[in-house]
Structure 1
Amino acid sequence: MAFTEVNEDDAADSSSLETLGHDSDDFEDDLKYLTSGDELTRADMASWTGQPHVKGSTEAMRMVLLTFSLVGLQFTWGIEMTYCTPYLLQLGLTKSKTSLVWIAGPLSGLIMQPIVGVIADRSTSKYGRRRPFMVLGSVLVAACLLVLGWTKELVGHFVEEGDFRRTVTITVAVLSIYAVDFAINAVQSCCRSLIVDTLPIPKQQAGSAWASRMISVGHLAGYIAGTVDLVGMFGTSFGDTQFKKLILVAAFGLIFAVGVTSWAVTERVLVSSKSADSNDGFVKIIAKIFYAATHLPPRIQAICTVQVWTWIGWFPFLFYSTTWVGETYFRYDAPHDVKQSKDALGDIGRIGSMSLVVFSLVTFVGAFFLPLLIKSPEESSGFTARPPQAIAAIVSKFNKYKPDLLTAWICGHLLFSGAMFLAPFAHSFRVATFLVALCGFPWTLATWAPNTFLGIEVNRLSGTATSTYRRLSVSDSIELGSPLTPSTPSFLRLDHGLPDEAVASTGELSGLYFGILNIYTTIPQFIGTFISMIVFSILEPGKSPELAHDAHPDEHHGTDGPNAIAVCLFIGAICNVGAAFATKRLKDLQ
């Protein structure tokens, strides 16, 4: 670890969460000694007070409370993605224009997460840097959701009946969806950063594992809520349709989940940020994000490279897999009368949704049990809880063969690739459903591993040879769950290998780097859209062959050729092989 200490008795690990205090009379002398001639002043440095703390009597409870906000986030995402498309179609928007609406997701992530991340990194709110954005953002999301659910009523109150009202209703609904996506991305950015800020390096893997578990819980909760007749159960007092009821549940559920995490977590407070950063305008913030994204530390760059390859592969799976299962059923299993159904599109959706249910269940199981089968950082360093004497030998032998998370991530890429390589050869909807379900385990790793390793690297920035962390004085090291104690503001100076004008020097850049990771996650979605468009235009230039019976004769084509979605899934499998090689290179850098 490359840092200089004044207190010789300090033996605290650099990954611990610490408060720093120092006698102000000796500050300037010690500062000159520590910087070895660097011209730094108190104004050039970031100052902190307090210590991170999470309520709860056990580590499991503290992890649940820390990551509980993600339940509400995932539930809201699920309701939006599942029910807003038919809602927009019901309002009168065409399918082609509806597809353009969903550019809001990746576009908002590309813009909001890095910008909000940088702004939150520099926040000096007495409530912390992340929680104010989480709470205000969730309230904004809830308000936009309510506008979305009651668009007809709101517009009808101001606009008279006619074509203009229909146009205004659609416009307000679309704008509400964009507002929801932009606001929820701001909340998501801060929820992820809060985990990194609160946990020391040895706990980052466990924290990300619990985050993955909460995401799977939110996804299942969304599905269960959608299958319950909420109107019949609660009446029409607060919404006369199922969609309105779900909107209400999502809105208040998100506020509740974020509120629980905000109540349970106490953040370290940034008293003042680096003076050079305090007056940065919007354009300069964008410039800094661009510079940081193109000059990443080697290991963070490797993580982002893995993410690019991974998401080119996962994009067609997440958007088209249920349709593929339904089309496979229509091609090979459906009787003739079902193929002539007037609602073939709806039948495909219902058949395909069963694969989504199975996939969600497998993801849920994987999120809870895979972390138990993968070596944790504590085990790697030899600090493990001693098992009962009766099973000590069995546990020790089992732990000996546990893979680390990087190895498991590589296996996850290969498992996804192996399943999707078989997609063009699946001639039964049962086989297709099995392949989709099998991908639940790789998906668990895909939502767990990158956040873990990025969290570790962000924390390492203050303790590696390439990033100098100079401490003036140190109190006892703090573990997750230790009480918040007042302290003299602490002063840090970090050198991240970037010019001073390119990054903040607060020592906590999780908002910036998680925003950049989201950029590398979003760009492949546009690439995947482009690849899918080319494949569809070549293999299925007209109507889907599964729906060809109701098409014009010029559009009719048979089902002898390959299914276009299956080909997209095959291409995604190839990309995930690339992700496996990229992850191997990341492992070589460890």
Structure 2
Amino acid sequence: MKQQPKLSFWQIWNVSFGFLGVQFGFALQNANVSRILSDLGADLHSLSLFWLVAPIMGLIIQPIVGSASDHTWNGVGRRNPYILGGAAAAAVAMCMMPNAPLFVQLMSPMIFGAVMLALMDASFNVAFQPFRSLVSDMVPAEQRNQGYSVQSLLINVGAIIGSILPFVLTNVVGLENAAKAGEVAPSVTIAFYIGATIMLGTVLWTVYKTREYPPEEYYAYKGLDPKEVQKQLAAEKKLSVGDKIKGFFGLMKSMPTTMKQLAVVQFFSWFALFIMWVYTMPAITQNAWGLEAKWFDSHYLESLDVVPAFVGEAKGAAGDWVGILFAAYSLFAAIFSVFLTKIANKIGRKLTYSLSLLAGGIGYMSFILFNDPTPVQANLLITTVEIPTGALNLVIPMIGIGIAWAAILAMPYAILAGSLPPEKTGVYMGIFNFTIAAPQIVSGLFAGWILSSVFDNNAIYIIMLAGAAMILGAISVVFVKDDATESVPEPTDTSRKLVDTCN
């Protein structure tokens, strides 16, 4: 096997730089979609159902794109065409979603917003999966921890900027952050325009600066025989659709043991993350701003002639502060990412991963403690705002959540990458996305019911449930096998033929 050359720090940086922009857009979505859909008429119970679009798109899109990118070799590259195409489509959806009321003649604004959310998520997933595989392709094994840590750093830098942007546009630029009935706040709309532009720019940088290895060179670095690979690909193209589907599920059955064990950890951690993204805004609006749960009930709001101004003001202020909190956990994640490689090399990836998830679980569980409504002036350097003391102190649990987030973005992939066959990295990374999408789907189906039926729409308790799930994830890491030498079991003749749904 030919020795794969080491990359300089800036080469590794360029490989993942586009992920900064994609995550910028994703952060805008995470911090503002619940707010947008609430403004357009969604209630607390239905919010999690709308958010189901995200994991469903990931479940469908990422394995398809993973398989397709494994088989793509052209002038642009192997993974780059999908990264670029996904970013362009996501940018279009980002520009259209906040303008849902303009398309009222086609469908209700809330439904149009949901459709744009689906398009946006599908496009993000087209870009996400190849970025993961690009690091595995381009970075040699001995630099893998560094490669995924740099990617985690860039992801969090993008998340910080994307999360705080609506707040900055309101409190520094002076745009309005309170939405009129059935519309989206101007600060959010402009933020989505800016996010779309930055996303395209950073992705173009990665595509321009990263020269992917041509097939012969790539196979030589991975110890593969190009003729044998081409023979296998040719055989796959001759398979019927039924055989391809059987092959796909065969690959799932023959996935590495490490991948199966990581799936349990992923279930608990992503179940918790989904709850945070959906319900942080109503949770802190109720717990820190003191707004009663009835003000999130769409039926109650429709029964009123006029919604009191303080309701819109509280939701707008809390919505902006969610962006700051999400930026805070991303900042702490970015800082932790700088040390993540050294810590993992020192104490091991498993222990690093487990302790990080434990920190996140404690962070979620502590949300309920920060409910002091006393107004306080918060100096954020770029501006000063008056918010409840409890809201300001919520920055503290963001430290633990940021540590968990940094580990979630890097450790599972660093552990998994060594157990995957290089010719199937893309599709296995896509299949691994099932472990991200499935827990979010379960969370989306049941979290709204739990919130309304068990917690009487008091959203702070659903955040505590997320904390319990994250702690279970930390315990589950103990049972994961971290062995870079593990190989994938040899599939049957049918299952070895991977589904190529792009054919």
Q: CA deviation at 1:220?
A: 1.6
Contact 2:70 2:423 in 1 (8 A): yes
Q: 1:128 to 1:284 in 2, by over 3 A?
A: farther
Distance 2:281 2:45 in 1: 19
Q: Which is worse superposed, 319-328 or 176-185? A: 319-328
Paired letter, 1:17: Q
Q: CA deviation at 1:127?
A: 3.0
Distance 1:67 1:305 in 2: 27
Distance 1:242 1:421 in 2: 31
| Correspondence list, 1:170-249, <5 A | 172-229=112-169, 241-249=186-194
Q: CA deviation at 1:185?
A: 0.7
Aligned residue number for residue 283 of structure 2: 324
Q: 1:276 to 1:362 in 2, by over 3 A?
A: same
Q: 1:365 to 1:581 in 2, by over 3 A?
A: closer
Q: CA deviation at 1:325?
A: 2.8
Alignment pair present for 1:567 and 2:461: yes
Q: CA deviation at 1:587?
A: 4.7
Distance 1:148 1:72 in 2: 18
Q: CA deviation at 1:105?
A: 0.7
Residue 311 of structure 1: which of 264, 270, 290 is its match? 270
Contact 2:90 2:119 in 1 (8 A): yes
Q: 1:284 to 1:360 in 2, by over 3 A?
A: farther
Q: 1:101 to 1:508 in 2, by over 3 A?
A: same
Aligned residue number for residue 454 of structure 1: 416
Please state whether the residue corresponding to 2:255 is helix, strand or coil: coil
Q: Deviations over 1:461-503 (max 9, x none)?
A: 3xxxxxxxxxxxxxxxxxxxxxxxxxxxxxxxxxxxxxxxxxx
TM-score by length of 1: 0.64
Aligned residue number for residue 196 of structure 2: 251
Q: 1:219 to 1:182 in 2, by over 3 A?
A: same
Paired letter, 2:311: A
Q: Which is worse superposed, 350-359 or 212-221? A: 350-359
Distance 2:348 2:338 in 1: 10
Aligned residue number for residue 76 of structure 1: 25
Residue 355 of structure 2: which of 404, 411, 428 is its match? 411
Q: 1:284 to 1:270 in 2, by over 3 A?
A: farther
Contact 1:74 1:218 in 2 (8 A): yes
Distance 1:259 1:286 in 2: 34
Distance 1:60 1:129 in 2: 22
Q: 1:212 to 1:83 in 2, by over 3 A?
A: same
Q: CA deviation at 1:245?
A: 3.2
Q: Which is worse superposed, 308-317 or 177-186? A: 308-317
Distance 1:259 1:220 in 2: 21
Distance 1:214 1:324 in 2: 28
Distance 2:78 2:139 in 1: 15
Distance 1:325 1:92 in 2: 20
Alignment pair present for 1:109 and 2:76: no
Contact 1:289 1:512 in 2 (8 A): no
Q: 1:176 to 1:304 in 2, by over 3 A?
A: same
| Correspondence list, 1:465-476, <5 A | none
Contact 1:65 1:260 in 2 (8 A): yes
Alignment pair present for 1:443 and 2:401: no
Q: 1:456 to 1:328 in 2, by over 3 A?
A: same
TM-score by length of 2: 0.74
Contact 2:50 2:114 in 1 (8 A): yes
| Correspondence list, 1:110-189, <5 A | 110-148=59-97, 165=105, 167=107, 172-189=112-129
Q: 1:97 to 1:419 in 2, by over 3 A?
A: closer
Q: CA deviation at 1:534?
A: 4.0
Distance 2:76 2:318 in 1: 48
Distance 1:281 1:567 in 2: 50
Distance 1:575 1:85 in 2: 22
Alignment pair present for 1:576 and 2:464: no
Q: Deviations over 1:276-301 (max 9, x none)?
A: 22345665544433322232111222
Q: Which is worse superposed, 317-326 or 448-457? A: 317-326
Contact 1:324 1:352 in 2 (8 A): no
Distance 2:39 2:329 in 1: 33
Q: 1:589 to 1:582 in 2, by over 3 A?
A: farther
Q: CA deviation at 1:582?
A: 2.3
Q: 1:434 to 1:327 in 2, by over 3 A?
A: farther
Distance 1:118 1:408 in 2: 31
Aligned residue number for residue 247 of structure 2: 288
Which structure shows the higher helix fraction?
Answer: 2
Residue 364 of structure 1: which of 331, 354, 361 is its match? 331
Paired letter, 1:248: Y
Distance 2:92 2:481 in 1: 44
Q: CA deviation at 1:129?
A: 1.6
| Correspondence list, 1:380-395, <5 A | none
Q: CA deviation at 1:266?
A: 1.2
Alignment pair present for 1:350 and 2:295: no
Larger Rg: 1
Aligned residue number for residue 265 of structure 1: 210
Aligned residue number for residue 158 of structure 1: none
Q: Which is worse superposed, 363-372 or 575-584? A: 363-372
Please state whether the residue corresponding to 2:215 is helix, strand or coil: strand
Aligned residue number for residue 537 of structure 1: 452
Q: Deviations over 1:95-132 (max 9, x none)?
A: 76665433221110010001110111112324322111
Q: How many residues align?
A: 428
Q: 1:97 to 1:374 in 2, by over 3 A?
A: closer
Aligned residue number for residue 519 of structure 1: 434
Paired letter, 2:402: G
Q: Which is worse superposed, 143-152 or 526-535? A: 143-152
Q: CA deviation at 1:179?
A: 1.8
Contact 2:66 2:426 in 1 (8 A): yes
Distance 2:12 2:403 in 1: 22
Distance 2:149 2:29 in 1: 25
Contact 1:209 1:371 in 2 (8 A): yes
Aligned residue number for residue 4 of structure 2: 17
Please state whether the residue corresponding to 1:415 is helix, strand or coil: helix
Contact 2:72 2:78 in 1 (8 A): yes
